[in-house]
Structure 1
Amino acid sequence: MERRRFLKGAGVAIALPVMESLMPKARGAVNKKPIRRFVCLSNNYGVYQKAFFPDATQAGKNYDMPETLKPLEKHRKDFTTFSNLDHGFTGGHQGVPVLLSGVRPILAHNYNEGNISLDQKLAEYHGAATRFPSMTLGVREKNLLSFTRTGVQVPTINMQQAYRAMFFEDTNEKKISQAERFKRQNSILDVVMGQAKSLNKELGKQDQEKLEEYLGSVRSLEKKISQQEPWLNKPKPKTDVPEPKPGNGTTEQLKAMIEIIALAIQTDSTRAITCSSGFANGDFGLNGGYHGFSHHGERDEPVAALKKIEGFQISMMSYLIDLLKAQEDPINGGTLFDNTSILYGCGMAAGTHQTKNLPLVLAGGGFKHGEHKVYPMPDPKRIPAANLLLSILQQSGLEIDQFGSSSSTLTGLEWS
C-alpha cells in the first residue's frame, strides 16, 4: 500500500496499534535513501560542565557516565558524547543562535547560504513532503536556534500551538482565506519579479549582485507558498492524545512537549524540529532564575540547581528515545529512532559566557554510537562543531560538502 494513500485512508490514526499485516509491505518498499528526521533539544544558558562531560582521559566506549548524563545510561550504545567541539569564537549569549549554523548572524553576509540553521536546511530539502517544513518549539523559553537562509529568525510556538496546528482542522472559512492570501502573495511576487528583471539591465555589477540576493529571497518565498498550498485541503491526522494544558510547571510542560515531538514524527507532520527549554521560579522546588543559577561561581546551591534542571532536560531526551524506539517506522522499516537524529546541545557552553567546548550529545539517526569522542583542544588543531552539523546533513541525504563554518564532515563519526 503506497504510504500517502495509507495515511489518507487511515487518517493517520497514530494512536492505533501497529498493524502487522501491513508492515511487511512497508518494509518491502524501503526507500533507496532512508527518510531521516532531526530533533534538536537545547537551552539558552549552557551547562554545568563538570557534571556534563566525561573525563577527558576516557575517550572511547569505557567512560564513566557523568552525573548529568546518567538518565541516558540505558541508551549508552545509542548515543555519542563529544568533547572540545565548538564554533571557534567568543561572545557569550551571542553564541546561542549559532548552534545549528556555526555562523554568527552579523557575519552571515560572508557565507553563500548566510546563517541558515541545520533544521531550516533540512526543511528546504524535504520541501512539501510534510505539512510543516519545520517546527520551532519553546517551553518557558524563546527558541533562538532557527534561521532561514535570508537571516530571518523562525518564530517560536508553544506546545498548545503545536498540538492545534497538527491536529485541529481549520474551518472552511479559514481555508478559503488562506487560499486567497496565497493567490494575492503570488500576484505580488509576479509583479516584483517582473519589475526586478527590467531594473537589472540598468544596474552595475555590484548592484546586480545585491538585487540577485533580493530575488533569491523572493524565490524562496514563492517556493514556500507552492509547498504549503497542496496541504490546505488535505485532512490532518487524528490522535487519542488529549490537548496539553497550559499553566503546569516545567516538568509537566517539557514532558508534554516531548510527547508532541514524538507525535509530530509518528504522523510525519514534519522532519525537522528544534526545541528550547527554560525554567520558571519555583519549578523543581527551586527559588531563583535560570540565568542567575548559570552564574554559579561554583557555589553549592546554584550548582545543585543547574544539575537538577539540566539532568531533567537529559532525562527528557532519554524519554524521547524511549518513545521513538517503541514505534515502528512505516516508511523505512525498523523503529522511528533508527532514522531520527536527536541532538542535545547549546551554543553557549556555560553560564560563565564561554563558548569553548560546547555541550553536544547525538543519539540515533543511523550513526555508529556508544563512545565519548575527544577532539584536540589547542586552537590551531580545534575541530569545528559545524563538522558535526555537516555529518548530520549528509546522513540525512543532502549531497553537500560544506555547511556554515564546517571544514569537512566530523572525523571519527561513522554512519551506516
Structure 2
Amino acid sequence: MALPWMESLRVWGQEAGTTAVTGQAPTRFAVLFSGNGFHKDHWWARGAGQQMELGQVLQPLQAHREKLLYIRGLYNEEALKGNIHSSQTGNLLSGAPLEAGGGIRSGTSIDQLLAQTCGQTTKVPSLVLGCEKANPSVHKNYSMLYSSHISWSSPTTPTPLEVFPALAFDRLFRDDATKADKSVLDAVLEDAGDLRRSISRRDQQKLDEYLNSVREVEQRIARAGSRGELQGWKPTLEKPDKARPADGIPQDIAEHMRLMCE
C-alpha cells in the first residue's frame, strides 16, 4: 500500500498510475495448445468476414467468423534446435532459445507479459490449466519441464499448472476469505506501527489521517458492493452456470480435457 508524501521519508521515485475502471469487459487472451497437433485436412479457413469458410474442426466458430483472423505460416527457428519434444514446446510463446544440459532457461511467455499488464482487472490475473502433471526428467540433454509448460512467468520459472478441474473451479468462483481478501489496513498495521515510531510527530498525524481515510474507503466499497452499487463491468452471471467438478483427476482424458476447457 502506497503512503502519502512525508517529510521524514526520502522519495525515490513515482509509480505509474493505474487505469481507470470502465464499463467494458476486461481484455482476455487465451492460448489452447494441443501437443499432437491438428489434422490439417479439417483445420483450415479460407476467405474473410462473412465469406470465410471453415474446416470441420473450426465449425463451432462459424457464428464468430467476422471476428476471426486465421494466420498461416508462423515460424519459430529456435524450435528446430534440440530434441523434438522439449524444444518445440518450451519456447512456443516466447521464441527464446532454450538452455540445454538439464538447466532451465527459456523466456517470459507472451501470456504472462499480458497478465502483468492487464491481469489486475480480473479476479485471477492468469489461469494456466493442463491435463498432465509437469515432468521434471531430462530427455536428450533437455529438461522435460520445457515440454510440460508453454507458459513461463520468467525465463527460469515455468508457470504452475492446475490439472485438477475442481481446484480450477474453486479458484475462479469460491469467495472464501483469504489473506488477499482481508482489509488492506489489517495486512499492513504492524508495518505501519513500526513506521510510526520512526517518523516525526507531524508525519504521524498525516499517517493516521491517511490510514483512517483508507479505512473509510474500504467500508464504503463494502457497503456499495453489498447493495450492488459498484460501477464498471460486471460478469453476466452472478453465479456459475455449471456444477463444481468432482475432486481428483478424471480417468477419461476426453472428459478431463472438456472440463478444463469449460
Q: With structure 2 as the length reference, what TM-score do the two structures score?
A: 0.50
Task: Identify unmatched segments of 5+ residues in structure 2.
Answer: 1-21, 101-105, 135-147, 192-217, 226-237
Alignment of 1:14-413 (within 5 A): 30=23, 35-54=26-45, 60=48, 62=51, 64-89=53-78, 90-91=80-81, 92-93=84-85, 94-106=87-99, 115-126=107-118, 128-140=120-132, 144-158=149-163, 159-170=165-176, 238-239=239-240, 241-245=242-246, 246-247=249-250, 249-259=252-262
Larger proportion of strand: 1
Q: What is the CA distance between 1:76 and its match in structure 2?
A: 2.5
- CA–CA separation in structure 1 for the residues paired with 2:118 and 2:59: 34
SS in 2 for 1:148: strand
Q: What is the CA distance between 1:147 and its match in structure 2?
A: 0.5
Report the AA paired with residue 74 of structure 2. L
- Alpha-carbon spacing, 1:148–1:249, altered in 2? closer, same or farther (3 Å): same
- Alpha-carbon spacing, 1:242–1:60, altered in 2? closer, same or farther (3 Å): closer
- Alpha-carbon spacing, 1:132–1:105, altered in 2? closer, same or farther (3 Å): farther
SS in 2 for 1:106: coil
Q: What is the CA distance between 1:132 and its match in structure 2?
A: 2.5
Post-superposition CA distance 1:68-107 (Å, at most 9, x none) = 3233334322322222112234143211222221223339
Q: What is the CA distance between 1:256 and its match in structure 2?
A: 2.6
- CA–CA separation in structure 2 for the residues paired with 1:81 and 1:141: 31
Between the aligned residues of both structures, percent identity stands at 23
- Alpha-carbon spacing, 1:79–1:141, altered in 2? closer, same or farther (3 Å): farther
RMSD of Structure 2 on Structure 1 (CA): 4.0
> Which structure ranks higher in relative contact order (CA pairs < 8 Å, sequence separation ≥ 6)?
1
Conserved 8 A contact 1:115-1:151: yes
Larger proportion of helix: 1
- Alpha-carbon spacing, 1:63–1:151, altered in 2? closer, same or farther (3 Å): same
Conserved 8 A contact 1:100-1:118: yes
- Alpha-carbon spacing, 1:250–1:72, altered in 2? closer, same or farther (3 Å): farther
SS in 1 for 2:118: helix
- Alpha-carbon spacing, 1:165–1:66, altered in 2? closer, same or farther (3 Å): closer
Q: What is the CA distance between 1:118 and its match in structure 2?
A: 1.3
- Alpha-carbon spacing, 1:164–1:47, altered in 2? closer, same or farther (3 Å): same
SS in 2 for 1:97: coil
Q: What is the CA distance between 1:175 and its match in structure 2?
A: 7.4
- CA–CA separation in structure 1 for the residues paired with 2:162 and 2:169: 10
Q: What is the CA distance between 1:139 and its match in structure 2?
A: 2.8
- CA–CA separation in structure 1 for the residues paired with 2:119 and 2:54: 39
- Alpha-carbon spacing, 1:35–1:239, altered in 2? closer, same or farther (3 Å): closer
Report the AA paired with residue 118 of structure 2. H
Q: Which residue of 1 aligns with 2:19?
A: none
Highest CA radius of gyration, 1 or 2?
Answer: 2
SS in 1 for 2:257: helix
- CA–CA separation in structure 1 for the residues paired with 2:54 and 2:72: 14
- CA–CA separation in structure 2 for the residues paired with 1:258 and 1:123: 19
Conserved 8 A contact 1:97-1:104: no
- CA–CA separation in structure 1 for the residues paired with 2:174 and 2:23: 31
Task: Identify unmatched segments of 5+ residues in structure 1.
Answer: 1-28, 108-113, 187-229, 260-416
- CA–CA separation in structure 2 for the residues paired with 1:175 and 1:74: 39
Q: What is the CA distance between 1:133 and its match in structure 2?
A: 2.1
